Structures are given as structure tokens and as C-alpha cells.
Structure 1
Amino acid sequence: MPSTREIRRRIRTVKNIAQITRTFQMIASSRMRRAQERVQRARPYAEQIRELVSRLATVAGEDLGNEVALLRSRPVKRVGLIVISPNRGFCGALPSNINRKAASTALEIQEEVQRAEGQRPAVSFVAIGRKGRDFVVRTQQHLLAEFTQLSDNPSMNDASAVAQVAMDAFLSGEVDVVYLVYARFVSTTSQQPVAIQLLPVQPPQSAGSSERQRIDYIYEPDPRAIFEALLPRYVDVQVYLALLEARASEESARMVAMKNATDNANELVDDLTLAYNKARQASITTQILEVVAGAGEL
């Protein structure tokens, strides 16, 4: 059984750890609130541009997929995956869940293409965040590009840089399809890893009412020109919203992980305190017995 001195040392150590994790929890909580606010502000804009792209795709005419480069589908021989992951740790299982989602998505796409076209496509990764970059390097996958120095508060310029890499690779034929893998923010305790197709762009189905869809707008210069000019911006917004969602998910996961670590440390302190009291009581009892035995011999 450990001595009382050793138990006291362990209690002090665990209390220090609890103070550190508590500080991390408070910092993550503050950052999480700001990240959640940014996500809530960005979602209406993303929804409006999504609806606008859907409406323009409806009125711009047919054969858009053959005439607009970002819509053009072709046989899939090379797949691109943009993986958004945390730069730092202390956020529980979130990095592992994202990396696992990226690996499963790549495997599913390869198997689907192999069944349809009889060949297994190659996969290239664009890693955003050190955890994803480390996963790609560790598994010896092809790393097309990496972004590990992005700000904790990602901007539209950051998203445009990532989207431009993806669009350049797609337009040059370096990849035939691009997917975006990130953690969608659901709630403080729930983050859902998802994979969405980024390129070729698939115009979303409009969720507006039939009355709004019947409105006859006047477009200048014409719907197709506006549609083609809007598509790169639509891709930028998709990446930007994913960056914000991933950031909110990261801070939420970190806050929950640090809270659990603090609670576990406090429970361990209680257990060690109980063990210390027992050891101290046993020591006192032993000393009393020794005194009684010594008095009896006299």
C-alpha cells in the first residue's frame, strides 16, 4: 500500500491537472460560443446562394452539364478528398472520427466506381489541419495540398484559397470528382462527420414554395452568364461554411473532452483522499497498538 506521502503527492499532481483541464475547458467554451455564432450567421447566406443557384440552373436552359466546366461529369479515374480536421488535440475522438470518415468515403467511392466502370480510381487528398495531414502521411496516401496555417477564425479568403486548389485540379483533369469531408456541427455534444460532393457541382433542388418558383425574374445580362459567374462563388461558400462548421465542432468537442477530463480528475482526487484517510487511520492505529504493547511489557 502506498505511503501517505506518496498519496499526498499524487493528490497534488491530479489537482494541478484538473486546474489545467478546467482552464482548457473555459477557453474552449468561449471560443465555441463565437464559432457557433459565426455558423449561425453564415448558414442563411449559404442557403440563399444555394437557392439562387438552383433557380438559375432551372431557367438557364438544358445541357448545362456539357457546356459549363464546373458542372461537367466525366469517367472517374481520380478522386479528390478535401479533409477538414483540427490542428490541435485535446478534442476527444473527433480527429479519429473525421479521418475514419475520410478513409471510408474513399473506399466507398473506389468500390462504387469499380463496380460501375471496372477500374479502381486513385485518391488524392487536400488536408486542412495537422491531424488530417498526419493521417494522410501516416497511411502513405497521395497528398495533393495541405493547409495547416489557417486562422482559428477562417475567412472567405481562406475558403477561396482551398476552393481554388480544388477547382484548378478539377478543371485541369488532375481529379475527376471532389468530395468535402468535415464535421457538421449539430449541437454542443454532437458533431457529425459528413462527406458531400463539391465538384462537379450538382445544382441543389430548390426548397422554395411553388409560388416563389413561378416568379418571372428579369436577368441581366442573361441567366446562363450569371449562373456561370456564380458557380465559383458557390463553391467558395460551400468550403467556407464547412470550415466554420468544422471549427465549431472542434471547439465543442474540446470543451466536452476537457470537462470530462476535469470530472475524472476530481473523482480521482476523491478516491485518493479516501485512500489517504484510510492509510493515515491505519498508521495511527498501528502506532496506538505499538504504544499499548510497549506499556504492557512494562
Structure 2
Amino acid sequence: MSNLKEIRSRITSISSTMKITSAMKMVSAAKLKKAQDRMSNIQPYAEALKTTIQNLLPNVNHSEIKLTKQFTEKQKILIVAITSNRGLCGGFNANILKKSKELKNQDIEVWSIGKKSADLFSRNQYRVIKKENDILDNPSRLLSQKISQEIIDEFLIGKWSKVILVYNKFKNAATQIVESTPILPITINNIDDVPDKTAQDYIFEPDKTSIINRLIPNQIHTQLFEAILNSIAAEHGARMTAMHKATDNANDLKQNLTLAYNRQRQAAITNEILEIVAGAEALNS
């Protein structure tokens, strides 16, 4: 059993750890609010853009739409994996790798967004072809568009047959949903499933095909940026939850150690009293 000095040292150490985890929880809570606001601002635009494209697609000749078909016979897949730059957020980063492993026995390359993504996939023998870390600290539409445009350009020259976006979607502070979303090539909904909002006599200027070929890249830019904002909000939620649990666990451990410390101290005091009494009795006799 540990002596009193060791237990006292552990209690001090755990108290310091509790202060750190509690502070990290509060910082993440503050950042989460800001991330949620950014995420909610882009959602109406992203949904309206997607609906507009899916309404127009069934009325356009598909052979004239660039990004609805593959440009290579090779079945090579690009995974755009979005994680965090930092740890201490539970299974937030590991879940991305676990989801990616569902694509078994395929030729896969990884476009890493987040330091943890590059580390995880490299350790598991994936080919990481690009690393983007700065965008998570300062999320920017322009930087996100630069990344997505580079992906589109390389898809058009036949580097990959499919591009899949893997990220944590924010649900609430305690829950993140791991999403695996194909972004290229663009899928066309069944015409019967899409409300026909273009059946009226609209005049398009320029023509529908030109409009679609301008809107689809914009949708991909928006989809990637929305996924990055979702991932940032989910990261802060996951870290806040993890630090809350860590603080609670540290508090339980501190209470148990305090109890053990008090018991040992009381036992030491009792032993000293017994020794004094025994010594006094020996002198009297």
C-alpha cells in the first residue's frame, strides 16, 4: 500500500489535471457555439443549391454534363478524410479510419484534411497524397474552394473513378455521425422522385446545360466547405464531452484517494496513541 506522502502527491497531481481538463472543456464549449453559427449560416444555401441542381438535372442531356460520368476505366478511389489537428477528443479521429476501412480490397488514395488524418492513414499503409491542415484553424471558403477545385481538375483528367468524402457530421454536443458521402461523379436522382419545378415555361439564359455545368462545381465546393464546418463543430463537441468525462473520472479518483489517505492517516494516529498508552502502562508497572 502506498504511504501517505505518495498518496498526497497523487492527489495534488490529479487536482492539477482536473483544472486542465475543466479549462479545456470550457474552451471547447465557447468554440462550439462559434462553429455552430458558421455551420448554420451555410446550410440554407447548400440545401437550396442541391435542390436546384437535382431539379434541373433530369431535364438536361446527361452526356453534356461533365461531372456525372467517370473519366477512367481504373477503379481507383480518392478518400477525402477530414479529422482534427489535435487529439483529446475521444474516438473522433479513429472513427474516420474505421469508416474508411469499410472500402476493402480497393485501390485507394487519401487526401488528408487534419494532422491526425495523415498520421492515422499513414500508419495503416494508405497512400496519403495531400495534407491540408491550416484550413481547420482558420476555415475559409476560398481555401476550401481551392482544395475542391484541385480535386475536380484531377478527377476530370481520369486520376480517380470516384471521390468519397468521410467526415464527422455534427448532431449535438454529445453525438457525432460518421458520414461517407460520394461527391464525384455527381449522382442523378430518379426523375420520378424529383418534383418537376421546371415543367412550366421558363426561359433559361444561358441554356440549362451551361447553367448545370457552372452549378455542379459550385455544389462540390459548398459540400466540402460544409463538411469541414461540420467536422470542426463535431470536434469541439467531442472534445467538450471527452473533457467532461475526464474531469468526472479525475474527481472520482481524487475522492477515492482522499478516502484512502484519511484512512491511513487515522490508522497511523491510532497506532501512535496505542504506542503511547502501552509505554505509559509499562512505566506504571
Normalized against structure 2, the TM-score is what?
0.93
Secondary structure in 2 matching 1:296: helix
The answer to whether 1:271 aligns with 2:269 is no
Distance across 2 between alignment mates of 1:296 and 1:286: 15
Aligned-residue RMSD, C-alpha: 1.9
| Correspondence 1:66-105 to 2 at 5 A | 66-73=63-70, 75-104=73-102
Residue pair 1:51, 1:206 contacting (<8 A) in 2 also: no
Q: Name structure 2 gaps, 5 residues minimum.
A: none
Q: Name the structure 2 match of 1:34.
A: 34
Query: Which residue in 1 is equivalent to 2:118?
Result: 133
Tell me the CA shift for residue 166 of structure 1: 1.5
TM superposition shift of 1:58: 2.6
> Closer, same or farther in 2 for the Cα pair 1:204/1:238, shift >3 Å?
farther
Quick one: distance in 2 between partners of 1:151 and 1:91? 15
Deviation at 1:152, TM superposition (A): 2.4
User: What amino acid is aligned across from residue 78 of structure 2 in structure 1?
Assistant: G
Instruction: Choose from 202, 213, 225 the match for 1:228.
Output: 213
Total equivalences in the alignment: 282
How do 1:244-263 residues align onto structure 2 when only pairs under 5 Å count?
244-263=229-248
Letter in 2 for 1:17: T
- Measured at CA, do residues 203 and 189 of structure 1 come closer, stay the same or move farther in structure 2, by a change above 3 Å? same
Q: Cα gap change, 1:131/1:275 in structure 2, threshold over 3 Å: closer, same or farther?
A: same
The 3 A distance-change label for structure 1 pair 212 and 248 is same
Matched residue SS, 1:244: helix
**TM-score, structure 1 as length reference:** 0.89
Checking the alignment, whether the CA contact within 8 Å between 1:51 and 1:204 is kept in structure 2 is no
2:245 match: secondary structure: helix
The whole-number CA distance in structure 1 between the counterparts of 2:189 and 2:84 is 29
Preserved CA contact (<8 Å) 1:56 1:224: no
Q: Hey, what does 2:108 align to over in structure 1?
A: 123
Shift of 1:32: 0.8
Q: 1:31 Cα deviation (Å)?
A: 0.6
Is the contact made by 1:53 and 1:204 (CA closer than 8 Å) also made in structure 2?
no
Q: Is the 8 A contact 2:65 2:212 kept in 1?
A: no
- Over the matched positions of the two proteins, sequence identity in percent amounts to 34
Pair 30,215 (structure 1): closer, same or farther in 2 beyond 3 Å:
farther
Structure 1 residues 142-151 or 13-22, which shifts more?
142-151
Partner Cα separation in structure 1 for residue 234 and residue 114 of structure 2: 14
Secondary structure of the 1:41 match is helix
Instruction: Read off the aligned partner of 1:91 and give its amino acid letter.
Output: C
- 1:78-100 C-alpha deviation (Å, 9 max, x unpaired): 11110001110010111111111
Residue of structure 2 in register with 1:114 after alignment: none
Task: Give distance in 2, aligned partners of 1:214 and 1:72.
Answer: 25
One-letter amino acid of the counterpart of residue 227, structure 1: I
* Corresponding position: 1:199 with 2:196: no
User: Matches of 2:130 and 2:151 in 1, distance apart?
Assistant: 9
Once the two structures are overlaid, the 10-residue window that deviates more, 16-25 or 161-170, is: 161-170
Change (3 A) 1:131 1:30: same
